[in-house]
Structure 1
Amino acid sequence: MIKRNISIKNIFFLILIALLIIPQTRQQIQIALHTMIAKINPSLEKEDAVAKISSYNWKLKDLEGNSVDLNQVKGKVVFVNMWATWCPPCIAEMPSIQKLYNDYKDKIEFVLVSNEKQATIKSFLEKKNYNFNTFIPQTQIPQTFNVKSIPRTFLIDKEGNIIIDESGAANWNSQMVRNTIDKLLKD
């Protein structure tokens, strides 16, 4: 009986390893795993650890080719997300970002940034039915953001304080995030 349990576990483990090695299934499995992880709420920054945006000088281009300056969002509540179409944790959190965008697009600024080609981003967004604002960087990202991995997301208040700084997939449509945004809009 013990040998049978061990062999079933071993077979399951070998199948999982094989699926992770095969390129066609690897990304889907990674996305599924990160989707489970993305159910976790992002955490608020501790009051004594809140960083402030030192510079909004960042030139971006929207998917229609229009130049945009991050200075245009200064003084507003801003949701900034760095992502890529090939990134499983980024893909895993996109549905929650879309839901948040649907409800808050007229209340806060959404700045989703990918350094991929315009056609690649457009194709991904159309395939997934996402319609949030996406931009391509034209100048170096401000040092304040200090992005070393993606996804990386910031929620910034009207004074430029980084209220949430989250690396990795998260549930951006959680009640905690919504309550935080509602509070920031009232302040």
Structure 2
Amino acid sequence: MEKFFKKHWSNILFGVLVVLMIIPQTRMPIQVFVQRLISFSPSETSEEKRETLQDYNWSLVSLNSEEINFSQSQGKVVVVNFWATWCPPCVAEMPSFQKLYDAYGSNVDFYFVTSEKPDKVNRFLEKHNYSLPVFLQFFEAPEQMQSSVLPTTYVLSKSGEIVVNETGVADWNSKKIRSLLDRLIAE
């Protein structure tokens, strides 16, 4: 039996991993772990490829049912993240977003936008001790911020330029992003 395990240990390990990926309770944590390992600092969009947000008129609803309009952020530095609790890359980047929000929440407007049910989102936030400003999307985002990929994150300058347009998992608490936000706030 010992010879069998020595000879086939890699196949056994692979089989266990496959089984763990099939079970929903273990699949998500494994996917989140792997996503965090491969996350990197997002890149700034080159100036010649940047779009400028034309229309800030976008109604959102906070988790406590307060209706707000995105236009309240016109003229400010803004971070908008489209995410879902069932999305492993979204979940993987949330700790870095929480750190960034803790550091910049008073100088940058953050919007974490989802289409999920409020009770599910609240349970997720409570479970992970997140205090991120989450909003429910009932209406389409402005044209320049429409994406069918989760997660998608935009960083906007005070003039409405989309300085970062990032899809997929990223490390949002990187020195590069902090430096970018500092520069945008100072403008």
TM bin, normalised by shorter chain, reads over 0.9
1:32 counterpart letter in structure 2: F
Partner of 2:14: 13
CA contact (8 A) 2:63 2:135 kept: yes
Partner of 1:64: 64
TM-score (normalised: structure 2) = 0.94
| Structure 1 residues 54 and 21: alpha-carbon distance in aligned structure 2, compared to 1, 3 A threshold | same
Cα distance in 2 between the residues matched to 1:81 and 1:5: 47
Larger CA deviation: 11-20 vs 72-81: 11-20
Number of equivalences = 184
1:65-95 per-residue CA deviation (whole Å, 9 max, x = no partner) reads 1110001101100000000111111110000
Shift of 1:141: 1.6
Q: Can you give the 5+ residue segments of structure 1 that lack an aligned partner in the other structure?
A: none
CA contact (8 A) 2:140 2:146 kept: no
Secondary structure in structure 1 of the residue aligned to 2:170: coil
Partner of 1:145: 145
Question: Is 1:184 equivalent to 2:187 in the alignment?
Answer: no
2:21 counterpart letter in structure 1: L
1:37-79 per-residue CA deviation (whole Å, 9 max, x = no partner) reads 22x1011101111111121111000111111000110110000
Cα distance in 1 between the residues matched to 2:19 and 2:118: 34
2:53 counterpart letter in structure 1: I
Shift of 1:118: 1.1
Q: Can you give the 5+ residue segments of structure 2 that lack an aligned partner in the other structure?
A: none
Partner of 1:111: 111
Q: Matches of residues 161-180 of structure 1 in structure 2 within 5 Å?
A: 161-180=161-180
1:110 counterpart letter in structure 2: F
Secondary structure in structure 2 of the residue aligned to 1:184: helix
Q: Among all aligned residue pairs of Structure 1 and Structure 2, give the percentage whose two residues are the same amino acid.
A: 40
Cα distance in 2 between the residues matched to 1:102 and 1:54: 29
1:22 counterpart letter in structure 2: I
Secondary structure in structure 2 of the residue aligned to 1:135: strand
TM-score (normalised: structure 1) = 0.94
